[in-house]
Structure 1
Amino acid sequence: MAIVLGDNRYGKAENRLVRVDRDGDEHRITDLNVSVSLSGDMSDTHLTGANDKVLATDTQKNTVHAFARDGIGEIEDYALRLARHFVTSQESIQTARVAVESYPWQRLQVGGKPAHHSFARSGGGNRTTTVTYDGERAWVLGGVRDLTVLNSTGSEFWGFPREEYTTLAETKDRILSTAVSATWRFAADEADWAKAYDTALASLLDAFGGTYSYSLQQTLYAMGTRVLETVPEIVEVRLSLPNKHNFLTDLSPFGLDNPGEVFHAADRPYGLIEGTVLRDDAPPAGPAWN
């Protein structure tokens, strides 16, 4: 029996990067978490320990920061520049993957006016992208992470199988809440990234709020469908929706009723609903999701 080396990759994960754009007195903040993963001709490194084909992960970190010096722009374009650089500058590197998570900041109001250089982290979800480049073409994923949403009514859950271990009561009115993680695949490596993100985000929120839900699975499909309907450049959407349970609190021991007003917010365990919605003519994903 022979033992061989399988697929492998390496890189510098979670490089924290903050850039301040100083346009006179008006400053802008870009706050990123950037992860680099490289693969290629790395057999000697694993089999003999030779490092002559290894671009040091510290060098990768420095490149992430150096490429920010001339501006970042849209995170998809920034990730594309980095991925192409790693492949074209290193003979041993055949594929580069760059994942970026962007943390949103909002400008503060000072004295009733927008501040020039004061900000607060906002909680509207983190924009994401992952770019994979193999020396010939690039695959671009966009998305949002930790987008917490809640419907205080307009959701039911009933008709599920009941067997010896089932204790959950059926409900015709419940709180539906989740922290959306959505990733979408673009058909090409060129698009109006900012417009696509804004439209996809608005579509996710519109579908969540506008869907009378009999299951979180139904809501997931509605959200993915709405993104595909409104952003033609996107061909596939993958969603992960943890069910953030809110249980009605029993106030009867205190002589109080509870007409659907006081809840216990449980953080675990939780139901996790995941699914993919895509166009039936979507081009092959290639290594985009690997």
Structure 2
Amino acid sequence: MSIILGPNRYGKAETRLVRVVRDGGVHHIKDVNVGSSLSGDMEAVHLTGSNASVLPTDTQKNTAYAFARKHGIDQIEDFALLLARHYVGSQPAIHHARVEIEEYSWSRIPVSGDRGESGKQHSFVRDGAEVRTCVVHHDRDGRTTVVSGLTDLVVLNSTGSEFHGYIVDEYTTLQPTTDRILATAVSAQWRHTGDDSDFGPSYREVRTCLLEAFAETHSLSLQQTLYEMGKRVLNTRDEVCEIRFAMPNKHHFLVDLSPFGLDNDNEVFHAADRPYGLIEGTVLRADAPDAGFAWE
């Protein structure tokens, strides 16, 4: 029986990094989680244990910290590109680098000048559950892909959503409705046509497209809403060629208040956390370039 080594990669996962920029009394904070994965001439380390081609994962962690100090962190996509190109360009044994970054947002806490703190802005509060993400791939052939995204963007429409006309069999108990709450936590990843987008404004505009399409679509299904959100992004943002979604249906069930002598005209709901429907889908341009390794 012949046995061979299959695809493999290694790296440092979840390097937590906080970068503070001090501009006098005004501070700026960047809070990120960096993961790197490298692949290339790695047969020897697997087959014989030779580490001659291995860049230690501890070195990858240190590189993220050092680059944060040397280069700063503005847009996470640019920082990921910087790291990925460094790994491939500096190490002959490394043919491909994948860098994934999550960013956690913070907002300033205003400080009263009455307490003698005027001009000092160094207090922050963490913003909600939404997380900005990116994944960058770069290889020695010069191929590069950038995928931006977000997770846990929680949205809700209190009306303007229906669900009916579905398959009914002997196990179906769900009742059709023409007025329901539609809620989800959007996870979306969108692929750029190149690696030179202005990533900050692009992220903000894509996020706006997602929110506007969700709010403006009279939904007959969460699948329809997903498609309209993706279509809005592609019709609005030329730098995006493909977008992928995972959207759990956060069910809200009308509570039966009749045992208490009360009616319930779509006012009181039970918010169920599980089980939930999970809707996933991709919307892309018909002429989108091949995704290659973008989603790996």
Q: Structure 2 length as normaliser, TM-score?
A: 0.95
- Which of 218, 221, 225 in structure 1 is aligned with 2:227? 221
Number of the residue aligned with 2:76: 75
Please give the per-residue CA displacement for 1:173-211, whole angstroms capped at 9, x wherever unaligned: 100000001100001110111111011000000000000
Q: Superposed, which structure 2 residues align to 1:15-26 within 5 Å?
A: 15-26=15-26
Give the Å deviation of 1:114.
9.3
Number of the residue aligned with 2:216: 210
Number of the residue aligned with 1:45: 45
Secondary structure in 1 matching 2:235: helix
Number of the residue aligned with 1:120: 125
Number of the residue aligned with 2:178: 172
Q: Distance in 2 between matches of 1:110 and 1:270?
A: 42
Give the Å deviation of 1:115.
6.5
Letter in 2 for 1:13: A
Q: Distance in 2 between matches of 1:159 and 1:115?
A: 59
Q: Is 1:230 aligned with 2:230?
A: no
CA contact (8 A) 1:53 1:92 kept: yes
CA contact (8 A) 1:182 1:237 kept: yes
Letter in 2 for 1:251: L
Q: Is 1:156 aligned with 2:179?
A: no
Q: Distance in 2 between matches of 1:67 and 1:244?
A: 40
Identity among equivalent pairs (%): 62
Where structure 1 has 5 or more consecutive residues not aligned to the other structure, the ranges are: none
Letter in 1 for 2:286: D
Give the Å deviation of 1:36.
0.5
- Which of 262, 266, 285 in structure 2 is aligned with 1:260? 266
Indicate the larger mover: 90-99 or 44-53. Answer: 44-53
Q: Structure 1 length as normaliser, TM-score?
A: 0.97
Q: Distance in 1 between matches of 2:20 and 2:59?
A: 23
CA contact (8 A) 1:108 1:114 kept: no
Number of the residue aligned with 1:134: 139
Indicate the larger mover: 245-254 or 137-146. Answer: 245-254
Letter in 1 for 2:135: T
Please give the per-residue CA displacement for 1:140-171, whole angstroms capped at 9, x wherever unaligned: 01111110000000000000000011111111
Please give the per-residue CA displacement for 1:216-253, whole angstroms capped at 9, x wherever unaligned: 00000000011111110110011111111111122222
Indicate the larger mover: 204-213 or 129-138. Answer: 129-138
Secondary structure in 2 matching 1:125: strand
Q: Distance in 2 between matches of 1:96 and 1:68?
A: 18
CA contact (8 A) 2:25 2:120 kept: no
Secondary structure in 2 matching 1:94: strand
Number of the residue aligned with 1:32: 32
CA contact (8 A) 1:106 1:119 kept: yes
Q: Residues 115, 249 of structure 1: CA spacing in aligned structure 2 closer, same or farther, 3 A cutoff? A: farther
Indicate the larger mover: 247-256 or 264-273. Answer: 247-256
Q: Distance in 1 between matches of 2:80 and 2:246?
A: 23
CA contact (8 A) 1:75 1:129 kept: yes
Give the Å deviation of 1:124.
6.4
Number of the residue aligned with 1:6: 6
Number of the residue aligned with 2:85: 84
Q: Distance in 1 between matches of 2:158 and 2:111?
A: 33
Q: Distance in 1 between matches of 2:238 and 2:249?
A: 29
Secondary structure in 2 matching 1:84: helix
